[in-house]
């Protein structure tokens, strides 16, 4: 074979090779588009299904019909759209139209104040301020319940080491012995510190966050951003994504809102004192809670598991006061790791009784763990309004506010 014929054969093969490249690229684009389309449709269907599941809970037959139709419509739309079979445009247009109608209804769905609330969130926090002294605040509807475990409930054995699940297998065993709402007048010029409390029941990633404010001459007062559950309703992280719960600000005695978690429900509770804050900053944070309560009294809001929950609201308020001390961090969303965030930011005390300590994060969790400290703390012990708060702070620093 001559050299010219070899060159000619090579030239003849070049166009077919280059022509195959655009075809392969087009095929890859089509496959990618189909995958993305499938993911979007799947997410849309799951979101719609979650709405039906949560908001049709009182109508089980209707809920079953709605979910069945949703599954059938989603699968037919997906299959016909991917294969572009007959009438696929109509199926897709129908699915999108119904989804948009559901989205419009969901956006319109208003939060309410008048529902058959559970006892612990039945009242709305209110406050009045002294005309002669703006630091004197009287809080109305401060929760001060007595709680104990239900008769016949399994024995609660408190862990002696850090643990992040309920110490009992079955939840919902707390019983209100006395439903008591009280008034407390506090002097904000007597604020002496603040503690962050994390309560765990489903693993170390997620916890409920509370704040307790310490006073020079008064027992601490706790604030908690809560879901406002209706009677016979229980917490649902998924329900919090689709407007199942309104939001509530609860002011409470620690002997109520912390005790019921550690000594009645068996949740694992940890207390972390905060250092480096000034009294004006702590006063602003206290007032921020009051403003949150006032806003909810005027216009209720939905609780949202991701963006408006017990932890994000706290850090939104704190960042509004000083964004430098509280920079944004993913652990604000993964609320179980808030103590680690505080440690990395240098907000956990480095001294105990005036002497430096070298606690790492593991030692902090050991010393901050409330449950072992109150393992033998009884219902009768808890009738002393100060006893529980003193017990849970044993062995913990009490940092002073900075000038």
Could you read off the pLDDT of 358-384 as tens digits, one per residue?
Answer: 899 999 999 999 999 999 999 999 999
- pLDDT confidence of residue 3: 47
- pLDDT confidence of residue 171: 66
Please, which contacts does 395-399 make with residues 24 or more away whose CB atoms are closer than 8 Å?
395/352, 395/367, 396/271, 396/273, 396/352, 396/367, 396/368, 397/273, 397/275, 397/349, 397/351, 397/352, 397/353, 397/357, 398/193, 398/214, 398/273, 399/193, 399/273, 399/274, 399/275, 399/276, 399/349, 399/351
Q: Across all residues in the chain, what is the average pLDDT?
A: 91
| pLDDT reading at 340 higher than 80 | yes
* CA proximity to 219, closest of 352, 377, 379, 392: 392
- pLDDT confidence of residue 44: 95
8 Å CB contact between 350 and 356: yes
3-state class (DSSP) for residue 221: strand
Question: Whole-prediction pTM value?
Answer: 0.88
Distance of CA 115 to the CA centre of its chain: 22
Average pLDDT of span 249-264: 97
């Amino acid at each position: 074979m001559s050299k010219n014929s070899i060159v000619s054969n090579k030239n003849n093969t070049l166009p077919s090779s280059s022509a195959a490249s655009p075809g392969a690229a087009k095929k890859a684009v089509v496959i990618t588009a189909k995958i993305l389309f499938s993911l979007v449709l799947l997410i849309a269907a799951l979101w719609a299904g979650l709405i039906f599941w949560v908001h049709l809970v009182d109508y089980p037959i209707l809920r079953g019909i709605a979910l069945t139709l949703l599954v059938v419509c989603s699968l037919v739309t997906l299959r016909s759209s991917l294969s572009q079979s007959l009438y696929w445009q109509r199926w897709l247009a129908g699915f999108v139209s119904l989804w948009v109608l559901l989205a419009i209804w969901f956006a319109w769905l208003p939060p309410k104040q008048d529902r058959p609330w559970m006892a612990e969130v039945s009242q709305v926090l209110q406050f009045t301020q002294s005309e002669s002294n703006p630091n004197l605040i009287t809080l109305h509807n401060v929760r001060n319940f007595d709680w104990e475990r239900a008769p016949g409930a399994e024995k609660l054995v408190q862990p002696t080491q850090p643990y992040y699940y309920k110490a009992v297998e079955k939840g919902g065993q707390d019983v209100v012995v006395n439903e008591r709402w009280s008034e407390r007048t506090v002097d904000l010029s007597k604020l002496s510190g603040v503690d962050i409390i994390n309560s765990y029941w489903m693993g170390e990633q997620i916890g409920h966050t509370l704040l307790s404010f310490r006073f020079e001459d008064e027992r601490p007062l706790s604030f908690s951003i809560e879901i406002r559950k209706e009677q016979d309703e229980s917490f649902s992280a998924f329900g919090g994504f689709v407007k199942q719960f309104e939001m509530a600000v609860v002011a409470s005695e620690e002997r109520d809102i912390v005790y019921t978690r550690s000594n009645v429900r068996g949740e694992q509770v940890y207390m972390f004192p905060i250092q480096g804050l000034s009294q004006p900053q702590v006063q602003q944070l206290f007032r921020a809670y009051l403003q949150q309560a006032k806003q909810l009294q005027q216009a209720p809001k939905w609780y949202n598991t991701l963006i408006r929950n017990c932890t994000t609201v706290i850090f939104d308020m704190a960042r509004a006061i000083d964004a430098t001390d509280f920079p944004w961090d993913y652990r604000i969303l993964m609320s179980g790791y808030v103590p680690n965030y505080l440690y990395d930011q240098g907000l956990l005390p480095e001294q105990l009784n005036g002497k430096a300590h070298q606690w790492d994060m593991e030692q902090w969790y050991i010393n901050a763990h409330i449950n072992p400290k109150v393992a033998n703390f009884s219902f009768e012990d808890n009738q002393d309004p100060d006893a529980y708060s003193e017990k849970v702070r044993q062995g913990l620093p009490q940092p002073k506010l900075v000038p």
